[in-house]
């Protein structure tokens, strides 16, 4: 039985608590949060203890921690937890700063402790099936990947201000999907972004609508489109054109009923947001972490891959600001 502690009892921490308690190979023993009430409420719900992060890290019987605190704490906690001999699953993004994330990567790799980054979309059964079909050679060589990712509504501007910006906070998932599908990071990134949904987002220095092209050295192209507002729900689709065919993973709809009448045809809209769409993915993600821990296999999403997605986000942020294409260089991806 793997003993686990959860750091962060907010929105996503509560989701992870359900996955941890649903897994028979582990036990959620402690919860920590800077807000005592948040930690107490969640700990009471799941029958765990409230402890400080220091107490958790000093407890040698705890083998793994799940970091679901705010992004600006991730690198510090990855370093402290791995130095204390814990395996880590850390939420995305690794950090708000690529330099800080690279330092955490170096420190964590130095300890030899396994670290996984929470890119839950890889574990979505639809996207996983697309990847398996592609890896199985079913459409030949990948040539053009298109990722659509629209949120139903923008977050509050207070969140936008501390989020690191759309490319680091939101498109980071899509950068990871692109790197994952094509087996590694692109060579260059070209981005454009606007604040056309909410002018206050623009006033806070961020964008709410963005399009990015990624190019690999052999000519493969990725196109990512993000918007903070899709009035019809959570729009999450992938299309991959290969030399022998096309794979596409469509939206998950509220129901499967289609109506056809003399007026036309209609279907249900996509499910509302990430909690509705990805609940199953979060559970599979946690199982994948525990299984890798038990077997000693490489984590299914490594810290290096988390850094690569952040390198794309940093390049896209710079490209959108300057209008230039930005290269992803080896030094942005971690020590050799």
Q: Residues in the site for ligand NAD, rule: CB under 6 A?
A: 7-13, 32-35, 38, 53, 68-71, 73, 91-92, 118, 120, 274
Interacting residues of 88 by C-beta distance below 8 A, sequence separation 6+: 64, 65, 66, 67, 77, 78, 81, 82, 108, 113, 114, 115, 116
Tokens of 168: 């680091």
Q: 35-59 as b/e, with b when 16 or more CB fall inside 10 Å?
A: eeebbeebbeeeebebbebeebbeb
Give the CB-nearest residue to ligand NAD: 10
Least CB distance to ligand NAD at residue 189 (A):
20
Report the residue number, 70 or 321, with the smaller CB distance to ligand NAD: 70
Report the residue number, 94 or 247, with the smaller CB distance to ligand NAD: 94
Triad 239, 245, 250: Cα angle to 5°: 30
Least CB distance to ligand NAD at residue 139 (A):
28
Least CB distance to ligand NAD at residue 69 (A):
4
Least CB distance to ligand NAD at residue 204 (A):
17
Tokens of 189: 């990134």
Report the residue number, 139 or 301, with the smaller CB distance to ligand NAD: 301
Radius of gyration of the chain (CA): 20
Least CB distance to ligand NAD at residue 173 (A):
7
Peptide bond into 93 cis (omega under 30): yes
Q: Got the DSSP string for 243-273? A: TTEEEEE-PPBS---EEEETTEEEEPPBPSS
Least CB distance to ligand NAD at residue 275 (A):
9
Report the residue number, 38 or 195, with the smaller CB distance to ligand NAD: 38
Report the residue number, 13 or 154, with the smaller CB distance to ligand NAD: 13
Report the residue number, 222 or 306, with the smaller CB distance to ligand NAD: 306
Least CB distance to ligand NAD at residue 282 (A):
7
Report the residue number, 10 or 202, with the smaller CB distance to ligand NAD: 10
Q: How far apart are CA 295 and CA 72, in angstroms?
A: 31
Q: Are 270 and 252 in contact (CB under 8 A)?
A: yes
């Amino acid at each position: 039985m793997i003993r686990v502690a959860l750091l962060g009892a907010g929105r996503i921490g509560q989701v992870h608590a359900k996955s941890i308690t649903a897994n028979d190979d582990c036990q959620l023993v402690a919860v920590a949060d800077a807000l005592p009430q948040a930690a107490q409420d969640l700990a009471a719900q799941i029958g765990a203890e409230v402890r400080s992060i220091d107490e958790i890290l000093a407890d040698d019987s705890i083998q793994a921690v799940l970091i679901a605190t705010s992004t600006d704490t991730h690198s510090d906690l990855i370093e402290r937890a791995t130095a204390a001999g814990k395996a880590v699953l850390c939420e995305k993004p690794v950090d708000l700063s690529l330099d800080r994330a690279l330092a955490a990567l170096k420190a964590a790799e130095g300890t030899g402790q396994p670290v996984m980054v929470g890119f839950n979309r890889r574990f979505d059964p639809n996207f996983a099936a697309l990847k398996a079909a592609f890896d199985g050679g079913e459409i030949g060589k990948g040539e053009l990947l298109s990722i659509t990712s629209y949120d139903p509504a923008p977050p509050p501007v207070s969140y936008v201000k501390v989020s690191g910006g759309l490319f680091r906070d939101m498109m980071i998932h899509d950068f990871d999907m692109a790197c994952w599908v094509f087996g590694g990071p692109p060579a260059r990134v070209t981005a454009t972004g606007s604040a056309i949904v909410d002018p206050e987002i623009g006033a806070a220095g961020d964008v709410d609508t963005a399009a990015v092209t990624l190019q690999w050295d052999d000519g493969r192209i990725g196109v990512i489109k993000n918007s903070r507002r899709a009035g019809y729900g959570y729009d999450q689709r992938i299309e991959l054109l290969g030399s022998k065919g096309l794979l596409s993973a469509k939206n998950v709809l509220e129901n499967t009923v289609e109506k056809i009448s003399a007026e036309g045809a209609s279907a249900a809209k996509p499910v509302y947001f990430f909690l509705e769409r990805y609940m199953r993915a979060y559970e599979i993600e946690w199982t994948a972490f525990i299984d890798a821990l038990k077997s000693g296999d490489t984590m299914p999403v490594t810290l290096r891959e988390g850094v690569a997605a952040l390198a794309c986000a940093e390049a896209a942020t710079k490209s959108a600001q300057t209008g230039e294409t930005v290269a992803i260089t080896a030094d942005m991806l971690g020590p050799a």
